[in-house]
Amino acid sequence: MFTKSPAVPDAPPQRPFAVQAGSQAQHSAAAAQAVAGGGGANQPSVRGAQFHVRLSQPLPTHKGDISEIILRAPTLADYTEIGDIDTVEASHLNEKGNPTVYVSRPSMDVFMTWAVRLSGLDRIVLGALPPHDAGELIKMVRLIVTPFSRPTSGVASPN
């Protein structure tokens, strides 16, 4: 569950992840707010171009304990280097050879690469997260990275 932050206005009702205008950070923040539910303590939140995941217990790091993980907005350079968290494959074909069922296979290695890149924390520190906090981090990273991997507007027509 994501907590609403006064620093980011509520997104107008629309398709989640629909790009209207603005930067990737603004789009990701709007997407996070579009699925925001209510919130309370220990819930992720969005503040400006940063994404905060409040932890249920302090997380030891090399620089001391932290109570939240702060993620920066991803860039196109990040996406071209890391890629999608999920690989989508056609698992069934109809009689014409067209796919009828798609299966999404997540890669936790790619997820962890995203989490390390956006948080600035290393794999060892993030690997120590308890299940609840890890689940909240996974949701937030997926939410802010998804706009790169999902088509959000019409198909471009050739000139």
**Could you tell me the pLDDT band of residue 44, with boundaries at 50, 70 and 90?**
low
> How confident is the prediction for the chain on average, in pLDDT?
74
Q: Are 31 and 17 in contact (CB under 8 A)?
A: yes
SS3 label, residue 66: strand
What would the mean pLDDT of 126-142 be, rounded to a whole number? 96
Give tens-digit pLDDT for 65-109.
999 999 999 999 999 999 999 888 888 888 998 888 888 889 999
Q: Whose CA is closest to 28, among 156, 148, 157, 151?
A: 148
CA gap 27, 73 in Å, rounded: 10
- The DSSP 8-state label assigned to residue 97 in this structure reads S
13: tokens are 């009702």
Evaluate if pTM is beyond 0.75: no
Q: Are 107 and 87 in contact (CB under 8 A)?
A: yes
Give tens-digit pLDDT for 50-70.
999 999 999 999 899 999 999
